[in-house]
């Protein structure tokens, strides 16, 4: 047997197989290289980033919006060396020496896996991990691994090592929805990534290997700390930090530095109001993944003031059987929402605390009356005009019953001025004022003010004058703002601007201002509601509607069954509306009216809000010919007890209340009269 020939043939076959295998491998590599994703757009592609909602100054983060991936992309200068060296020591200590793939590490990993009788895995470089996170699935297949290798080589050809490391640190998942080092630093240590110390960076670098197992909020915290200590040792072995730095880092009790897991949110009702507005305008995907910076209108100090005003009145709320309260405040000159507290405790499920009462329809009671009087003033009436406050039957209501409203104090005050009637919140004159203004005119004004959207004047009864229709606190505040601006309506705003992830202005709201009522009408309302003497008949001169040294206009509201208590008030630069009650519509205790339940909160808030402002008196309304000021306006039909006959009387002129016919049993209002 010719052994030489056999050996020669064997070698020939081996070399041919090797050549064919090499050629085939090169061909496969070339094919995959061409077909794999282009790496050139790696640094410029759209990556889901967390959207941040700020207060108006941009100094306070209210909330961060994101989908599954809570991520912020950091530039090179904001990524600290501590996390760079910790990541290199943990994941790829040969990072700066290889070309995307570390073949020696792969061979060592294969040998170790064979010895352990396991599947070959591991030894992925930082570049390979970046390729996997960006372009590939998590499948552990040979094809996926080979594709990962090819993409890694392409990435290395296109980018510098520092660029690759930056992209990796901005991409890698760290668990707890933290993607990228910025989110990890914020979630686990409550700080910016640039401020991470070496001990903190080592703990963060320990997480990517098994984010669930090593989670700081899981059941393996001791194992995580052990791994963190080993990473610090490895950093020392690689001379990436001094022995003194390593010793100091290892002495730190890292457990005490991990902050409790909590979704940080300030002004939650306002935040979710803004979030809903954003999603309506831009869509959920853009909001949660666009990396937007949303600058809102919220005044952080006023928001805290509002929250405190409700909290410090908790005992009073309980006294009157109110489990909840809400407050909203606007800048009338811009329409900007300055503060919004939708309930006294967002997290209290027993009171439906997550419900935002400021945008939930509730009956406003007498706080609605200024809009009715404004409609009368627009028609030509004045605060000095006189009206008759006696028991009055206004005819059949929608249910077929006679509508005979009562005043809050169940008494009658005879002839009163419209100023007195509105300031003291008398119900009967308010209903008569609606008849004098005319339903069509009142509906028109209410729609122009934006308090309600009343489509058909024939659908509403005279109880509209007493707050019979439900309104939102936010809309009523916007309506009161029209008075504060002397008739100008500014669109309600919650956002001042939005900046995209690249720093460009993404959105800036259009402002609008429309004169919806004559300034003289607004000035009359301002005069009445700020007249502390005029309301003294019912409220006294020291009520919670009065703020010493400040001119404020204010009005309370209470529903007849004590389900809702309101106080609304304003100056020329701030409008605030407060509600108290129970979200489930359970009545409060008897006597729980707006002046006792809501007004203390309003007063507390407004005193602090106005503390740094000088007094701002309202502009007086123009004087008018007062020759008809003593006319008692009452176009009614009444019945005399003795005859039972119906007699029509258009108006009674008298300066003396004793001269008014005392045999009136009831009145039925007909169409309104003009002067």
Catalytic residues: 91, 366
User: In which residue are the tokens 């001119």 written?
Assistant: 551
DSSP structure class, residue 304:
H
CA dist 369 and 431 (Å) reads: 9
| DSSP letter string, 222-277 | HHHHHHHHHHHHHHHHTTSS-HHHHHHHHHS-HHHHSPPP----SSHHHHHHHHHH
CA dist 74 and 181 (Å) reads: 8
Tokens representing residue 271 in the block: 């935040």
Describe the chain by its helix, strand, coil percentages, rounded to 5. 45, 15, 40
Tokens representing residue 488 in the block: 């100008």
Contact 434, 372 (CB under 8 A): yes
| CA distances in angstroms from 635 to 153, 412, 437, listed in the order given | 92, 19, 12
Contact 616, 645 (CB under 8 A): no
Tokens representing residue 546 in the block: 């009065």
H or E segment to which residue 166 belongs:
helix 161-171
Residue 123: CB partners within 8 Å, gap ≥ 6? 102, 105, 106, 108, 109
Angular region, 468: left φ>0, alpha ψ -120 to 50, beta rest: alpha
């Amino acid at each position: 047997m010719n052994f030489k020939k056999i050996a020669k043939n064997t070698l020939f076959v081996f070399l041919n197989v090797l050549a064919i295998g090499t050629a085939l491998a090169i061909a496969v590599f070339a094919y995959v290289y061409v077909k794999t994703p282009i790496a050139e757009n790696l640094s410029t592609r759209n990556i889901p980033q967390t959207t941040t909602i700020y207060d108006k100054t941009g100094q306070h983060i209210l909330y961060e919006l994101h989908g599954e991936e809570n991520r912020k992309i950091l530039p090179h200068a904001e990524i600290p060396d501590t996390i760079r060296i910790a990541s290199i020591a943990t994941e790829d200590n040969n990072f700066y020496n290889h070309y995307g793939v570390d073949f020696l590490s792969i061979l060592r990993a294969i040998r170790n896996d064979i010895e352990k009788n396991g599947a070959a895995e591991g030894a992925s470089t930082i570049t390979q991990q970046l390729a996997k996170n960006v372009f590939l699935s998590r499948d552990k297949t040979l094809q996926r691994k080979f594709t990962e290798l090819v993409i890694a080589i392409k990435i290395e050809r296109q980018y510098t090592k520092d660029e690759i490391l930056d992209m990796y640190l901005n991409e890698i998942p760290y668990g707890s929805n933290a993607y990228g080092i910025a989110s990890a630093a914020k979630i686990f240590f409550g700080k910016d990534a640039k401020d991470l110390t070496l001990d903190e960076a080592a703990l963060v670098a320990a997480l990517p290997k098994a984010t669930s197992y090593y989670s700081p909020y899981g059941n393996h915290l001791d194992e995580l700390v052990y791994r963190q200590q080993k990473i610090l040792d490895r950093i020392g072995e690689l001379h990436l930090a001094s022995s003194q730095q390593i010793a100091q880092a290892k002495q730190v009790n890292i457990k005490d530095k991990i902050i409790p897991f909590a979704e940080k949110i300030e002004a939650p009702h306002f935040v979710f109001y803004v979030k809903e507005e954003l999603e309506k305008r831009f869509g959920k995907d853009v909001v949660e993944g666009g990396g937007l910076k949303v600058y809102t209108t919220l005044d952080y100090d006023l928001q805290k003031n509002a929250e405190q005003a409700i909290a410090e009145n908790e005992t009073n709320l309980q006294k009157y059987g109110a489990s909840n309260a809400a407050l909203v405040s606007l800048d009338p000159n811009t329409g900007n929402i300055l503060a919004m507290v939708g309930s006294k405790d967002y997290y209290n499920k027993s009171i439906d605390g997550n419900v935002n009462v400021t945008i939930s329809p509730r009956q406003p009671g007498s706080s609605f009356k200024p809009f009715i009087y404004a409609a009368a003033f627009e028609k030509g009436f004045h605060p000095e005009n006189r009206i008759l406050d006696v028991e009055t039957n206004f005819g059949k209501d929608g249910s077929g019953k006679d509508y005979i409203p009562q005043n809050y104090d169940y008494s009658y005050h005879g002839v009163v001025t419209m100023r007195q009637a509105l300031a003291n919140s008398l119900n009967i004159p308010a209903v008569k004022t609606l008849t004098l203004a005319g339903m069509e005119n009142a509906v028109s004004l209410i729609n122009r003010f934006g308090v309600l959207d009343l489509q058909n004047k024939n659908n509403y009864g005279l109880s509209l004058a007493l707050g019979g229709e439900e309104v939102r606190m936010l809309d009523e505040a916007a309506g009161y703002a029209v008075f504060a601006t002397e008739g100008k309506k500014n669109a309600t705003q919650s956002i001042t601007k939005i900046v995209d992830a690249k720093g460009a202005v993404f959105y800036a709201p259009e402002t609008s201002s429309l004169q919806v009522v004559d300034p003289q009408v607004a000035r009359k309302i301002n005069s009445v509601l700020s007249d502390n003497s005029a309301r003294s008949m019912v409220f006294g001169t020291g009520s919670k509607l009065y703020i010493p040294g400040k001119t404020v206009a204010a009005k309370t509201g209470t529903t007849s069954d004590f389900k809702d208590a309101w106080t609304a008030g304003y100056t020329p630069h701030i409008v605030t509306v407060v509600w108290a009650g129970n979200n489930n519509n359970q009545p409060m205790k008897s006597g729980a009216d707006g002046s006792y339940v809501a007004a203390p909160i309003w007063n507390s808030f407004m005193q602090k809000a106005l503390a740094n402002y000088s007094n701002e008196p309202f502009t007086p309304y123009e004087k008018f010919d007062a020759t008809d000021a003593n006319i008692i306006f009452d176009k009614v039909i009444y019945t005399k007890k003795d005859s039972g006959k119906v007699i029509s009387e258009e108006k009674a002129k008298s300066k003396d209340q004793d001269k008014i016919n005392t045999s009136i049993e009831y009145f039925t209002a007909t169409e309104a009269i003009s002067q």
